[in-house]
Structure formats: C-alpha cells, structure tokens
Amino acid sequence: MSGKDKASMSKSSDGKTTEGATASGTAKRLEEVLDNLDLETIGAPMLRTLLSQTMETLKIARRRVDEQQNYLELLSQLSTTDPATGLLNMRGLHLILRRVLARAKRDETGGVLIVIDLDGFKAINDSYGHTARDEVLASVARHLVGGVREGDEVARLGGDEFAILMPGVSRREADLRAAALSTGLNGLVVPWDGKAIQVRGSVGGACYGPDDDMDTIYRRADEEMYRQKNDRMSIRTAGGKHDA
C-alpha cells in the first residue's frame, strides 16, 4: 500500500472516530438537557420547539455517521478491487480465502483454487499498446466470470495472472471445470482496430481440504499451472508454433 493510501486509510479511521465522538457527545448533551428540564413549569410551545430541535440534531448526526460509513465501505471496496477488470484483487481474494479455509476446517469440507496465466501477454502489450492490453484483460475477466457458479470468486492477481476460488467442488468436478476454462480461454478472440487478438492461457488448479493453508494451496496451483504451460510450450515447439 502506498503512503498516500495509508494516509487515506488513517484519515478515514480518524474520521470515523471523530464522527462517533460527535454523535456520542450530542447524545450526552441531550441527556443532560432532558435531566434538567422542569416539565411542570415549561410551556407546551417551548417543549415542542425543544423536541423539534432535538430531532433535527439527531437527524444531522445520523446522516453524518451514515455518510462516514458509506465512505469507509467505498475505501474497503477500492482496496480489494482490481481497477482494470472490476474483479477482486489479490488482497480481496486473500481475505475471502482465509474465511473459506477457516470454514473448510470447521466443517471438514474442501474445494479448489484455479490459477490462470495468460501466454504471450507482453507481446500483446508491445504490439497493440496499453489500451488493447486493458481490453484483453477485461474480455478475459468477462469470460471467466461467465464460466463460474454463483458463490465462486474470480480475481486478478496482477499482471497477466487470474485466479478462481471454487468452494465445495470435488476433485473430478475441478478437473472438468479447469479443462472447460482452458478450452474456452484459448478460443477467446478479442477484436481490436480491425484485427483479432488471439488469447492464450495456461490453467492449473489445486484442491484444498480442512488441513491445508493458503501458501500450500497457491504453491500447488502454481505448480500445476506451470506444468500445463510447459506441456503446451513443448507441443507448440514440436509443431513449429512456439509463440508463448
């Protein structure tokens, strides 16, 4: 996190404290005023005025607290979202994966983490430019989101790497899903400036269970993805089409 981001988070935390103190102080002052009221001698018009002012003060305090809460929620969303694709970023996926692993340990369940690495992505950037690169990323993101179940989590880990977290999936189903994702991804074509950019990618996955930790799952998924990438590279080289 950059210094600017840290400053923003610090500022937001201070703001929340300030708003909470303001609301608390307002409630305390109102309590003191009400305790000191002599309801037997105060007139009805004055009482109505006081109650009206009290309600207005409470509305203002509540509105400020709501605004601050919305601001903090926006900051949290921005800190866990990849701006180029709208997917979760690595931090966002890590937060969810921690919760999923805790639930897997508690309920003795499992699932799969799939890792996707785009092949030849630097060449796309060099040949077509940053805008085309971003369009390819967005197209890949849409393709991946369209191929998962409700409850699955799709993330861009950074650069040309994506991941999909699929809780509650068996090993057999995970293999089928990884194969389908690979087939669809390698058939994806992105139109750009009158040309067609062919997307290529390597897909690998790792199942997890109640006793697995985050680092182990990522390592196994990466190893499988690179094994798939090396196998595809060997096939292309043998056929004279080495382009990754």
At the top level of CATH, which class does the domain 90-238 belong to?
Answer: alpha beta
User: What are the backbone dihedrals phi and psi of residue 205, each rounded to the nearest 5 degrees, phi first?
Assistant: -140, 165
Distance CA 162, CA 164 (A): 7
Lowest mean pLDDT: which of 131-140, 155-164, 233-242? Answer: 233-242
User: Collapsing DSSP states into helix, strand and coil, what is residue 36?
Assistant: coil
Is residue 244 very low, low, confident or very high in pLDDT (cuts 50, 70, 90)?
very low
Q: How many CB atoms lie within 10 A of CB 133?
A: 20
In angstroms, the first-to-last Cα distance of the chain is: 32
Q: How many CB atoms lie within 10 A of CB 238?
A: 9
Q: CA dist 207 to 171, 213, 220, Å?
A: 6, 11, 9
Q: pTM of the full predicted structure?
A: 0.66
Q: Return the closest-CA partner of residue 141 out of 155, 157, 125, 159.
A: 155
pLDDT of 39-81, one tens digit each?
555 566 766 777 777 777 778 778 777 777 665 555 455 578 9
